[in-house]
Amino acid sequence: MNYLQAVTEFIFAEDEPAASDVILIPGNTSPLPSEQAARLYHAGFAPYLLPSGHFSKVRGSFPGPSARQEQYSGSYRTEWDFMRDVLLQNGVPDAAILREDRAEYTYQNALFSKEVLDRMGISPRRAILCCNPYHARRCLMYYSMVFPDTEFLSCPAKDAPITRDNWQESETGLRAVLGEVERCGKQFAYMLCGAQEESQRIL
């Protein structure tokens, strides 16, 4: 296996969906992950969906949908507002949509989603993650650390512009995917080293 193949297998994590306790949607500006989550909900894979997101700390506000602006044209204050509207427009009942609208980056998506589920008394044995395809590995990394007793299935968006099959064909795809490799390495190292330093301080 060459380097690019190895990167593809690492970054583009994908599983077959199975019966789960909740569908989790990390914050983003694309409607595609929420549309995928709606399809899985209607197929009966989980009774609840939990979109998570305020807006990017770097941007400082929600910039609007990155695709299908004509369909999703509301005035959205947060990523959660946007993702909720996508789910509603795709036939998901409001009662099935949980709320987390504080998170500003992926690790907070995981942390704050767990707080929401803990308050509801939901301890998921299995959960589905719906995100953009090239974000799958980093989402799994964070959510698995925050939910150590949960089995996660990665079911990323369909028809995304950057996929495991085409990411090598454009500068945009190369930068996005190789940037994820870099972020996974740096952020995972920080988390592991930070945890070790904290345990040493306590002991």
Residue 71 lies in a domain: yes
Domain count for the chain: 1
Please tell me the predicted confidence (pLDDT) of residue 1: 58
Please tell me the predicted confidence (pLDDT) of residue 203: 31
Residue 180 lies in a domain: no
Please spell the DSSP secondary structure of 168-187, one letter per residue: GGSHHHHHHHHHHHHHHHHH
pTM for the model stands at 0.90
What pLDDT digit, counting tens, does each position of 66-119 carry? Answer: 999 999 998 999 999 999 999 999 999 999 999 999 999 999 999 999 999 999
CATH code of the domain containing 144: 3.40.50.620
Residue 191 lies in a domain: no
Q: Write out residues in the chain with pLDDT < 70, as ranges.
A: 1, 194-203
Q: Which residues contact 143 (CB under 8 A, 6 or more apart)?
A: 24, 109, 110, 113, 127, 129, 150, 152
Measured CA to CA, the distance from residue 74 to residue 46 in angstroms comes to 27
Range of the domain at 128: 13-162
Please tell me the predicted confidence (pLDDT) of residue 194: 63
